[in-house]
């Protein structure tokens, strides 16, 4: 067999904010259950099937701690089981009006229920641990609640990362050496904190490396490697303007049969009104999957051939996507994913994980990275712009309350009240709230969530400062359970100066 033309790394980033007991629909637990049913179940099924064939190092899978907590949470597990049963009932109800759609959805719901009851009923961690243990995937960790780390004080940033890495270790049995930096957010100097936490590699968007993403790159003299997302390849699938999921033969995400909530139409055309869209045809969709998978393999191979010609050695292509694209947003995404993972090796492309790329020596010279993210404009504006100035200010207050509260204890024992304050602070600092406001997507819900968690932090901070532990305990007892019982406020250590909080 000839040497591979180069190496391809697929990175999937699985994340949702903490939704348990915080609304149901249109924003809340429904979001979790849809993503679980239509993306997490089928994607893991694809990976499990390929692993059973003896395939290894298929892709790098990021699962944020706050999502992993929900996949293990008894309340969410019960809710997911109920949701799958509701999906089956909705399929039954659609049969008189849409018999073809009802049959397809009945089969899909039945299969999902069987998989969930057989493998997921006791939580997602055992399922993902099996995939990692079979070396099918490399699991990435990250900060606990997916905060936009460049806006965090160094002390809070280190605390959030430590809480996330600790959670990963508890669920999956190992401390991860790679992380998904939330929103691919980076500020100069963050690599020092990564190195101190034992992180060896993280993701940035391609423009942070000026598009030169053909090798992993050490950041300064830290020894920590940055993997850059190749946008020319990634945007072939999903871009702000184009990509395979918008093809006319794929199922349309936005068009509903309102009585059942099912999706009966194909995209048909980008400017076709919902009532004019054509019925979904699985045969046409399968042909589109085969065509687009072959196109992607061609694009990757051609990209790697160009890199090899430029470098004089085999190089690397990293394509990174939200996991929720595959099945939730793009119904046919899991089938496309399986087709690509089967076809790339046959086309002379080595498929591996970020760890595998590092072990293979696909590492270039050191780089200096600028402030960056994978948001619109590739800067910090989505999370720090004028539209979210109130949330930035709120986050600053939350951080100061958190650091001040942690400094207020001299006990060697854990303090459950300060731990509860720390958990609420982490939830308030989630990057999702600013993202949703900047994109005008359930902005009221996002602002309400950020403020509710911040208000709890402020309330508890005041009560603890006043020495009123009885009232503080009463307040905490009235809150719904959170994701991280292991959060230990003592791990904040001695507070550093908060001058690092940068006005925006």
**What φ, ψ does residue 214 adopt, rounded to 5°?**
-75, -10
Q: Report the alpha-carbon distance of residue 99 to residue 108 in Å, rounded.
A: 14
The catalytically annotated residue of 30, 154, 322, 455 is 322
The catalytically annotated residue of 183, 249, 338, 415 is 183
**What φ, ψ does residue 59 adopt, rounded to 5°?**
-165, 170
Q: Report the alpha-carbon distance of residue 474 to residue 97 in Å, rounded.
A: 53
Q: Which residue has the tokens 């509860």?
A: 420
* Neighbouring residues of 334: CB distance < 8 A, sequence distance ≥ 6: 39, 42, 43, 45, 46, 326, 327
**Whether 244 contacts 293, CB under 8 Å:** no
Q: Residue 322 catalytic?
A: yes
The most distant pair of C-alpha atoms in the chain lies apart, rounded to whole Å, by 73
**HEC profile of 327-391:** CCCECCHHHHHHHHHHHHHHCCEEEECHHHHHHCCCECCCECCCCECCCHHHCCHHHHCHHHHHH
Q: Report the alpha-carbon distance of residue 40 to residue 397 in Å, rounded.
A: 36
Which residues, listed in sequence order, are joined to residue 8 by a DSSP beta bridge? 317, 351
Which are the catalytic amino acids? 183, 322
């Amino acid at each position: 067999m000839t040497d591979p033309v180069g190496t391809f790394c697929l990175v999937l980033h699985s994340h949702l904010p903490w939704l348990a007991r915080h609304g149901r629909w249109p924003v809340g637990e429904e979001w979790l259950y849809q993503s679980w049913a239509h993306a997490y179940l089928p994607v893991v099924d694809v990976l499990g099937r390929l692993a059973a064939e003896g395939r290894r190092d298929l892709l790098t899978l990021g699962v944020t701690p706050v999502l992993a907590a929900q996949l293990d949470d008894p309340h969410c597990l019960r809710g997911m089981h109920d949701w799958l049963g509701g999906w089956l009932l909705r399929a039954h109800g659609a049969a008189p009006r849409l018999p073809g759609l009802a049959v397809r959805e009945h089969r899909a719901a039945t299969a999902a229920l069987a998989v969930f009851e057989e493998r997921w009923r006791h939580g997602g961690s055992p399922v993902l641990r099996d995939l990692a243990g079979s070396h099918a995937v490399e699991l990435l960790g990250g900060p606990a609640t997916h905060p936009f780390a460049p806006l965090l004080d160094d002390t809070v940033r280190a605390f959030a990362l430590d809480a996330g890495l600790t959670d990963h270790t508890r669920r999956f049995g190992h401390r991860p050496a790679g992380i998904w930096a939330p929103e691919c957010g980076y500020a100069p100097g963050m690599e020092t904190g990564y190195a101190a936490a034992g992180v060896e590699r993280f993701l940035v968007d391609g423009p942070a490396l000026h598009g030169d993403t053909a090798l992993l790159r050490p950041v300064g003299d830290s020894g920590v490697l940055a993997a850059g997302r190749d946008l020319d390849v990634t945007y072939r699938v999903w871009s702000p303007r184009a990509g395979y999921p918008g093809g006319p033969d794929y199922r349309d995400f936005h068009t509903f049969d309102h009585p059942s909530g099912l999706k009966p139409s194909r995209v048909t055309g980008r400017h076709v009104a919902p009532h004019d869209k054509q019925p979904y045809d699985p045969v046409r969709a399968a042909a589109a999957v085969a065509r687009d998978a072959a196109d992607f393999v061609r694009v990757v191979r051609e990209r790697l051939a160009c890199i090899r010609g430029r470098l004089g050695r085999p190089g690397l292509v990293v394509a990174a996507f939200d996991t929720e694209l595959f099945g939730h947003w793009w119904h046919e995404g899991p089938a496309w994913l399986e087709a690509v993972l089967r076809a790339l090796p046959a086309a002379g492309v080595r498929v591996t994980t970020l760890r595998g790329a590092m072990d293979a020596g696909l590492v270039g010279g050191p780089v200096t990275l600028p402030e960056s993210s994978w948001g619109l404009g590739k800067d910090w504006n989505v999370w720090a712009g004028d539209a979210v100035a109130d949330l930035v200010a709120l986050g600053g207050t939350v951080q100061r309350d958190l650091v001040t509260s942690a400094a207020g204890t001299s006990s060697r024992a854990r303090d459950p009240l300060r731990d509860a304050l720390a958990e609420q602070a982490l939830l308030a600092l989630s990057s999702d709230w600013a993202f949703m406001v900047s994109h005008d997507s359930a902005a009221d819900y996002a602002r309400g969530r950020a403020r509710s968690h911040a208000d709890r932090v402020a309330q508890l901070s005041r009560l603890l400062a006043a020495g009123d532990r009885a009232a503080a305990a009463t307040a905490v007892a009235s809150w719904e359970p959170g994701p991280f019982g292991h959060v230990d406020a003592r791990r904040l250590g001695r507070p550093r100066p908060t001058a690092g909080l940068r006005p925006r």
